[in-house]
Structure 1
Amino acid sequence: MHVDKAKKRIAKLVKAGDKGYPKISIEYFGESSDSATLVVVGFTLEEGAAVQEEKFNSKDNARESEVIQSALVKIIERANAKSVIEVPGISLL
């Protein structure tokens, strides 16, 4: 999947808002606010359940990585996530 298509798909799901569980959360981390080198994806099955996390590292900007963005879309689809929450911006490491 092309990186722009994946990013648009994720943005559309984020824009839909909180629709309940299961939930996927996406947070980007980096050394500066310009480039994310780490992505943390959290999965919560139901209220009160422990969050399962998966991390993706990138040498370049993970937000522009076709491999990482496509993987995020596949994770969302396979989890049957009703809600996708993205932490805005890049959190500093």
Structure 2
Amino acid sequence: MHIDKAKKRIAKLVKAGFKGYPQISIAYFGSSKDCANEVVIQLMAEEGGAIQEQRFTSTTDVRADEVVQSMLVKIIERAEVKTVLEVAGVTTLDEKR
């Protein structure tokens, strides 16, 4: 899937707001606000349920990585996610700790 198409699909799902469960949360982390080297995806199947987490890292910005963005879309589709939340911006690794 082309990078722009994947980003638009994710943005559309985020903009739709809460539609129920399962729910996915996407957060980007990096050494600076300009470059996200890591993305963390958390899946909650039901309200109050256990959270499953996956992390993907890259030497380049994961937000501009076609493989990573396409993978996020595939995870959303396969899990039949109803709600997608995205943390705005990039959290620096110093803030994460």
**TM bucket, shorter chain:** over 0.9
Query: 1:75 Cα deviation (Å)?
Result: 0.2
Say whether 1:39 aligns with 2:35. Answer: no
Aligned-pair identity (%): 62
CA distance in 2, matches of 1:51, 1:29: 19
Q: Look up the match of 1:60.
A: 60
Q: Secondary structure at the match of 1:17?
A: coil
Output the amino acid matched with 1:56: F
Q: Look up the match of 1:16.
A: 16
Query: 1:20 Cα deviation (Å)?
Result: 1.0
CA distance in 2, matches of 1:28, 1:18: 20
Query: 1:16 Cα deviation (Å)?
Result: 0.2
Q: Look up the match of 2:84.
A: 84
Q: Secondary structure at the match of 1:63?
A: helix
Structure 1 gap ranges (5+): none
Q: Under a length normalisation based on structure 2, what TM-score does the superposition of the two structures give? A: 0.95
Output the amino acid matched with 1:18: F
Output the amino acid matched with 2:50: A
CA RMSD of aligned residues (A): 0.4
Q: Secondary structure at the match of 2:67?
A: helix
Runs of 4+ in 1 over 3 A off after TM superposition: none
CA distance in 1, matches of 2:32, 2:12: 26
Q: Under a length normalisation based on structure 1, what TM-score does the superposition of the two structures give? A: 0.99
Structure 2 gap ranges (5+): none
Output the amino acid matched with 2:27: E
